[in-house]
């Protein structure tokens, strides 16, 4: 069964119809201020298309992890304001998820109006393991758009979750993939089907355990697997090196030894490290060889020789997938590794390579470091979803769209 697309819905006609859209508006906030609006901006094309076609649009999304209860610091109020700015029209914010305010506002919508429901994770049924509980919330969401309504799945960052607003609503309404979800899946299919070679994958982030499945899945399929970030220290420890007080998962050392034995010709680890005397933006730091991290010091970035080595590999690649920063890029003194690797990917893009930034911290780093977004072939909005797709896992929010309408 093929997935129906947004254009199919538009062709069927949405004027005067209620359309429930699951967007991914989970943006980082600092004291209520949005620090990276990337996901909001990415959600706009689908919403704009529906608005311009005269739909009554009801948007559901989450923000953070509010533990199934209302929490003012996780309110979508700042998101509603920014979304209105991007859309160039008023966006109402309901005071609840599916309560009296949401119902009253949805009933008052006219053609082309947009209503954003309050954080769907304020309702514990959203993430419940109990299918019946999720079903109750799904039915309440459907009630907001009416019997002739439709559902558009456009939150790629959550399609790997079997949640009420992602999975269960699709079973109750005619369902379609939004512009963003369709584009994300197309990109990932390109990576998994027959990628142009050399094919390089860059993995960073803090824990080996978070990326173990994707390493196991991709290592036999790629030509180059670059490993940086906090996770590299468990690999270095597996080589018998001392890593000082760097981030380390002792329970994963044997696993890393096994991976190096099996895929040592593909895996590339840092040659040098930017070590610091403590975890702080103003910490004393120095560049040391990967086998000379001083006792009591911690690695917070890859060093310049590592950047050169990794860049040499990446600039010759024809396909690149990057997920995870090379260091603590939020601290200026430890951002050069991530910047250098990202710049190498930009160079590869300029030479015709197909390059994908796998969401999460990598996408945030691109924007935070002022790198050109158009220097990458695709910047995903979903880190976890991207990784699970590449691992070969079924994504519930995608598979449910493949079911007959």
Q: Which residues does the annotation place in the binding site for substrate? A: 24-26, 39, 62-65, 121, 161
CB 132 within 8 A of CB 164: no
Distance CA 186, CA 197 (A): 18
- In our burial notation (b when 16+ CB lie closer than 10 A, e otherwise), range 157-166 reads bbbbbbbbbb
Q: Which of 4, 17, 39, 309 is catalytic?
A: 39
* 370 among known catalytic residues: no
* 207 among known catalytic residues: yes
Which residues, 6 or more positions from 109, have their beta carbon under 8 angstroms from its beta carbon?
18, 56, 57, 58, 115
Distance CA 170, CA 161 (A): 13
Q: Which of 207, 221, 318, 367 is catalytic?
A: 207
Distance CA 308, CA 288 (A): 15
CB 152 within 8 A of CB 14: no
* 95 among known catalytic residues: no
- Taking the alpha carbons at both ends of the chain, their separation in whole angstroms is 10
Residue 192 — φ and ψ, nearest 5°? -95, -20
Binding residues for ATP: 211, 299, 330, 359-362
* 73 among known catalytic residues: no
Q: Which of 54, 95, 384, 393 is catalytic?
A: 384
Q: Which of 230, 327, 360, 382 is catalytic?
A: 360
CA distances, 249 to each of 75, 130, 217, 235, 302 (Å): 35, 33, 20, 9, 18
> Based on C-alpha coordinates, what's the Rg of the chain?
22
Count of positions (residues) in the chain: 405
CB 305 within 8 A of CB 272: yes
Distance CA 242, CA 86 (A): 50
Instruction: List, by residue number, the catalytic residues.
Output: 39, 207, 360, 384
């Amino acid at each position: 069964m093929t997935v129906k697309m947004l254009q199919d819905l538009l062709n069927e006609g949405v004027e005067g119809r209620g359309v429930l859209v699951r967007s991914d508006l989970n943006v980082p906030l600092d004291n209520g201020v949005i620090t990276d609006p990337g996901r909001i901006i990415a959600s706009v094309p689908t919403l704009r298309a529906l608005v311009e076609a005269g739909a009554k649009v009801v948007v559901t999304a989450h923000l953070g992890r509010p533990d199934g209860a209302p929490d003012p610091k996780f309110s979508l109020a700042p998101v509603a304001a920014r979304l209105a700015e991007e859309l160039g029209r008023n966006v109402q914010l309901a005071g609840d998820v599916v309560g009296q305010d949401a119902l009253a506002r949805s009933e008052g919508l006219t053609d082309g109006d947009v209503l954003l429901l309050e954080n769907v994770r304020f309702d514990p049924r959203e993430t419940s393991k109990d299918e019946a509980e999720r079903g109750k919330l799904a039915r309440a969401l459907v009630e907001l758009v009416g019997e002739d309504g439709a559902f558009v799945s456009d939150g790629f960052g959550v399609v790997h979750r079997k949640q009420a607003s992602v999975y269960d609503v699709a079973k109750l309404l005619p369902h379609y993939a939004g512009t963003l979800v369709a584009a994300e899946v197309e990109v990932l299919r390109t990576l998994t089907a027959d990628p142009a070679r050399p094919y390089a994958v860059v993995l960073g982030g803090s824990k080996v355990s978070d990326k173990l499945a994707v390493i196991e899945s991709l290592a036999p399929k790629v030509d180059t697997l670059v490993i940086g970030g906090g996770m590299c220290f468990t690999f270095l420890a597996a080589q018998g090196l001392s890593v000082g007080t760097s981030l380390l998962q002792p329970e994963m050392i044997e696993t890393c030894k096994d991976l190096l034995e099996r895929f040592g010709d593909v895996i590339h680890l840092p040659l040098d490290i930017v070590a610091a005397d403590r975890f702080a933006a103003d910490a004393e730091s120095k560049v040391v060889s990967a086998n000379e991290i001083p006792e009591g010091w911690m690695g917070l970035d890859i060093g310049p020789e590592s950047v050169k080595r990794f860049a040499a590999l990446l600039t010759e690649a024809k396909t690149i997938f990057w997920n995870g920063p090379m260091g603590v890029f939020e601290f200026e003194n430890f951002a050069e590794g991530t910047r250098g690797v990202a710049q190498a990917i930009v160079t590869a893009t300029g030479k015709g390579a197909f390059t994908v930034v796998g969401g999460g911290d990598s996408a945030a780093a691109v924007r935070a470091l002022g790198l050109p977004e158009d220097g990458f072939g695709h910047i995903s909005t979903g880190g976890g979803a991207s990784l699970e797709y590449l691992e070969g896992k079924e994504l519930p929010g995608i598979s449910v769209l493949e079911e007959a309408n």
